[in-house]
């Protein structure tokens, strides 16, 4: 999380940061679900 926040532009508004975080969470979450299905 710290790395991801440190790679964002300094002048990014808080609302944009929240939206980016939500999108990133969805992408990471879908990768976890796919990985679990592949292990079965």
Tell me, what's the pLDDT at 13?
93
pLDDT tens for 1-40 read 667 777 888 899 999 988 888 888 888 778 776 666 666 5
Which residues have C-beta within 8 Å of that of residue 8, sequence separation ≥ 6?
17, 20
DSSP string, 1-40: -HHHHHTS-TT--HHHHHHHHHHHHHHHHHHHHHHHHHH-
In the chain, where the domains are located: 13-40
């Amino acid at each position: 999380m710290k790395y991801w926040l440190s790679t964002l532009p300094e002048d990014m508004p808080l609302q944009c940061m929240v939206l980016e975080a939500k999108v990133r969470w969805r992408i990471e979450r879908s990768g976890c679900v796919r990985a679990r299905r592949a292990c079965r």
